[in-house]
Structures are given as structure tokens and as C-alpha cells.
């Protein structure tokens, strides 16, 4: 399993988590947990990692998925806890990103993390 971390993780419909790690295997997110200390094997990225289900298409723009864009969550929503973590979730790195407005900027690119 590969692990990726970023300044913020975005959960559509919920908001942002500050400094979290996502565990990805074969292109699917299997876990998420707070980055409380430096962990060996975690790849750090600038920008935001968005956790999107496989039905969400971000190739046409980002505005539809950033409805609760400015809410920073204190903890992982229950649906993303280890026992109930949803299947079919992929991690996309969004960079560059405006941390003032907590929205993508003109020129933001996305890349699937594998």
C-alpha cells in the first residue's frame, strides 16, 4: 500500500481535513488517518488531495465538487472510519490550490494517485 499526505484532504460533501494521510492500493483509497508525526514511506505533496468516488468526473471542472469548500473538519467523518470506509474512492492531487479561498485556481491540474 502506498501512503500519500498533503496540507489538506478534501472530502466532497463534508469538507477538509488538515494534514492527513491516505492509504492507496491499486488506485483505490483504503484508509485515511491524521499525520501526527513523520512516518516512513509517506509521500508528501503540496496542494490538496481530493477523495472522489469513481462516478465523479473532474475533467470538466471542479466547481460541482467544492460545495462545502471552506469547512475544515476536526476529525474524520464516521463514514470514512476503518470499519465503514467506502469502496470505490480514488485520490486525486489538485495543484496549485488557493489556500485562502480553499478552492482550485485557474490552472489547477489533477492527477490520480496510485
The helices-and-strands tally (H runs, E runs) of the chain is 0, 7
Q: Whole-structure pTM over 0.85, yes or no?
A: yes
Read off φ and ψ for residue 22, nearest 5 degrees: -115, 140
Per-residue pLDDT in tens (0 to 9) along the chain, 114 residues: 999 999 999 998 889 999 999 999 999 999 999 999 999 999 999 999 999 987 666 766 777 787 655 689 999 999 888 888 888 999 999 999 999 888 888 899 999 999
Q: What angle do CA 109, 107, 62 make, to 5 degrees?
A: 60
CA distance 114 to 24: 6
Q: Which of 79, 108, 93 is nearest to 9 (CA)?
A: 93
Rg (CA), the chain: 13
Amino acid at each position: 500500500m502506498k501512503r500519500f499526505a498533503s496540507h489538506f484532504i478534501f472530502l466532497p460533501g463534508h469538507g477538509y481535513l488538515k494534514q492527513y494521510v491516505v492509504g492507496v492500493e491499486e488506485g483505490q483509497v483504503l484508509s485515511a488517518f491524521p499525520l501526527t508525526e513523520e512516518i516512513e514511506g509517506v509521500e508528501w505533496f503540496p496542494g490538496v488531495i481530493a477523495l472522489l468516488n469513481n462516478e465523479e468526473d473532474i475533467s470538466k471542472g471542479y466547481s460541482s465538487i467544492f460545495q462545502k469548500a471552506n469547512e475544515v473538519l476536526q476529525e474524520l467523518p464516521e463514514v470514512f472510519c476503518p470499519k465503514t470506509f467506502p469502496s470505490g474512492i480514488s485520490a486525486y492531487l489538485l495543484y496549485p490550490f488557493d489556500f485562502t479561498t480553499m478552492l482550485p485556481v485557474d490552472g489547477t491540474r489533477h492527477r490520480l494517485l496510485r
